[in-house]
Amino acid sequence: MTDAPSSHPGWVEQELYGWGRYPRIGSLVARPESQRGLVAAATSAASNGDSSSGLIAHGLGRSYGDVALLRNGRVILTRRLDRMLAFDESTGVLRCEAGVSLEDLLEVFLPRGWFPPVLPGTKFVTVGGAVANDIHGKSHHADGTFCDHVNSIDLLLASGEMVTVSRDQHSELFWATVGGIGLTGIILAVEFALRRVDGPWFETESIRIRDLDHFFEVSAASTGFTHVVSWIDTLAKGKRLGRGTFSRGRHAVGNNQPVGKGLFSKLPLTVPIDLPNLVLNPFTLRVFNEVFYRKQWRAETKGLVHFEPWFFPLDVIGNWNRGYGPRGMIQYQIVVPPDPEHRAIRTVIEGIATSGMGSFLAVLKEFGDNAHGGLSFPMPGVTLALDFPNYGKPLFELLNRMDRVVAEAGGRVYLGKDSRLSKEMFQQMYPGWQEWKAVRDEWDPTGRFQSELGRRLGLVQGPVDKAEEAA
C-alpha cells in the first residue's frame, strides 16, 4: 500500500485489449474517479512533454479490436465516471457521465418504466462507447442508432477546453463525434432520451429460415416488429446457404408485471480461464451450428419473454470470449447496400462456408434507412456479423478477400469490431472520411487523440508517422 497520494490520478502501466482479446497492447493507464480527475489526467498527460504519443478514452472494452487501444500512449479508463446528473421524469431525458453503463440504466430505470433507446448485444457498454461507435441494435430499422436519441454531448477537447456539442451547437463537431471512435475528444457527459415502456417483457416470434431468399422474405414481412435479428449457420452451403433462425419482437404492451431486482443480472456461468485454442475447432463448430439450427425444430414459435436473455444471450456466460483461447478472436461485421439479387452478401457467406473457417456466431439483419455519415457504421442494407477464432494468416487473407467484395458493393466494415482492416479498403468503404478528418483535425490540430486503429487507417498520425514525415 505504497501508492501515489489519493487525489492525483496516477498513471500505471497496464496491458489492455478489446473483447476479442486481440491485439493486446501495453500503455500508461489512468482511471479517474470524476470529471475533474479526468481533466487533470488529460492535462498531466499533455504537460509531461510526450503529448505526441497520444491519448484515447477506453470505456468497458467491449469493442473487439484496437479502436480503444494505443501503443506507447496514454489511455484513460472512463468507467468510474458513472454519475447520473439529472433526469426529467416527464420526458425521460437523462444527463449522465460517459462511464454510465447500459446495465446501470436498465437497473435504475426499467423498474420505473424507462428503457435505453437502443441496446446492442451486450449490456456491458458505456454511454461514451455507445456514442463513439454510434451503436445500433435489433431495432435499427425502427429506432435508428443510439445517437439518434442523443441531445447533446459534453466533450473535452485537445486544447483542454470543454464544449457542449449538439445538432445546433458546433454541429459539425457533434456529427464527427457520433461514431467518432474517441478521436475528436473525450466525452464527459451525454444527454439523451430514454423510452417509455410498460415493463421488461417482449412479445417474440421465432421462425426457421431455409435459405437466404427466405431470410429476406421474412425480413420484409416483419415491419410490424420493432426488433429483428437472425442467426445463420455459416457452414451451410449450396441450396441451404443462409439457413438459420429469424427472431423478431416488440415491447409487450400493458404487461407491467414487476421483475425481481437483479434476477438476471447475476452471471450464473463464467469462463474463468482461457480454454485451450483447440476447444473451438472445426468439429465443435459444426456441432454447434447444427444444434443451433435444429433447436428451432418447429417452423415457428411465439412467446412472451423477459427482454434480457433475448437481447443479451451471450451475457449469460461471463467472459465467454475466453472460450476462444489465448490467441483471441476476430469479429467481422459488414454491411452491404440493398441489392435485389443479394450478390455481395451471398458471396461473403459462401466465401466463409467454403473456407472451412466457419464462424460460431453469425448474425444477419437488415438495417433501416437511417445513416449518419462520417465514421458511423450503419447504413441502409444488410449487416452480417461473424466471430472467428484467431486462426492467423489464413483468416486474415480470407477477410482481406471479403473486404474487397464488400467495398466493391459499396459496403463497409464496422470499425468498433475491427483489428485488421487496411487503410486503402477503409478509404473506399467510408467515402466521408476526409470530411470527417478535416473536422477532427480542426479541433485537434496537434493530433493529441490517437488510437491503434486510427493510426492504422491513417486517421491520425502516430509518432512513427510523424518521424517519417519529418525525415
Partner 1 sequence: MSEDVTENATEDQPGRGCAVVLGATSPIAEAFCRRAAEAGYSVFAAARSAEAAAAIAADVSVRSRQSTGSCAFDALDAATIEAVFAQAEQELGRIALVLVAFGDMGDVGGADVGGAGELEAARRVLDVNYTGAALASEAGAGALLRGIGGSQTGDVPTLLGIASVAGDRGRQSNYAYGSAKGGYALYLQGLRNRLFKLGVHVVTVKFGFIDTPMTHGMKTAIPIASPDAAAQALLKAARKGTDVLYFPFFWRFIMFIIRSIPERLFKRLSL
Ligand X SMILES: Cc1cc2nc3c(=O)[nH]c(=O)nc-3n(C[C@H](O)[C@H](O)[C@H](O)COP(=O)(O)OP(=O)(O)OC[C@H]3O[C@@H](n4cnc5c(N)ncnc54)[C@H](O)[C@@H]3O)c2cc1C
Ligand Y SMILES: NC(=O)c1ccc[n+]([C@@H]2O[C@H](COP(=O)([O-])OP(=O)(O)OC[C@H]3O[C@@H](n4cnc5c(N)ncnc54)[C@H](OP(=O)(O)O)[C@@H]3O)[C@@H](O)[C@H]2O)c1
Q: Determine whether 211 is exposed, middle or buried from the number of CB atoms within 10 Å of its CB (0-12, 13-18, 19+).
A: middle
What amino acid is encoded at 203 in this protein? Answer: E
Scanning the structure block, which residue is given the C-alpha cell 457467406?
349
**Cβ distance to partner 1 smaller for residue 108 or 142:** 108
> Does residue number 364 form part of the binding site for ligand X (CB under 6 A)?
no
Choices 12-20, 302-310, 372-380, 427-435; region in contact with partner 1 by CB under 8 A: 12-20
> Does residue number 2 form part of the binding site for ligand Y (CB under 6 A)?
no
Q: What cell was used for 7?
A: 487525489
**Cβ distance to ligand Y smaller for residue 78 or 451:** 78
For residue 424, the minimal CB distance to ligand X (Å) is 21
**Cβ distance to ligand Y smaller for residue 39 or 399:** 39
Q: Residue with CB nearest ligand Y? A: 6
Q: Please enumerate in sequence order all residues whose Cβ is within 8 A of that of 126, keeping only pairs 6 or more positions apart, or say none.
A: 59, 60, 78, 79, 98, 99, 100, 101, 102
Q: Per-residue x/- marks for partner 1, 71-110, CB under 8 A?
A: ---------x--xxxxx------x-------------x--
Choices 86-94, 179-187, 247-255, 277-285; region in contact with ligand X by CB under 6 A: 179-187
Partner interacting with residue 87 (select from ligand Y, partner 1, ligand X, none; CB below 5-8 Å by kind): partner 1
- How far, in Å, CA of 123 to CA of 103, rounded? 5
- CA-to-CA dists, residue 249 to 139, 207, 305, 388, angstroms: 9, 11, 10, 28
> Does residue number 56 form part of the binding site for ligand X (CB under 6 A)?
yes
Q: How far is CA 59 from the centre of its chain?
A: 11
**Cβ distance to ligand Y smaller for residue 1 or 220:** 1
Q: Per-residue x/- marks for ligand X, 112-141, CB under 6 A?
A: --------xxx--xx-xxx-xx-xxx----
> Does residue number 58 form part of the binding site for partner 1 (CB under 8 A)?
no
Query: Which of 21, 31, 58, 170 is the binder for ligand X (CB under 6 A)?
Result: 58
**Cβ distance to ligand X smaller for residue 130 or 379:** 130
- CA-to-CA dists, residue 349 to 235, 240, 258, 444, angstroms: 9, 11, 42, 40
> Does residue number 163 form part of the binding site for partner 1 (CB under 8 A)?
no
For residue 321, the minimal CB distance to ligand X (Å) is 7
Strand partners, 251: 202
- How far, in Å, CA of 460 to CA of 53, rounded? 11
Q: What cell was used for 330?
A: 476476430
**Cβ distance to ligand X smaller for residue 206 or 419:** 419
Query: Which of 2, 3, 4, 7 is the binder for ligand Y (CB under 6 A)?
Result: 7
- How far, in Å, CA of 1 to CA of 18, rounded? 29
352-371 burial code (b ≥16 CB/10 A, e <16): bbebebbbbbbbbbbbbebb
Partner interacting with residue 133 (select from ligand X, ligand Y, partner 1, none; CB below 5-8 Å by kind): ligand X
Backbone angles phi, psi at 126, to 5 degrees: -85, 160
Chain residues in the site for partner 1 (CB under 8 A): 1-7, 9-10, 12-14, 29, 31, 33-36, 80, 83-87, 94, 108
Chain residues in the site for ligand Y (CB under 6 A): 6-7
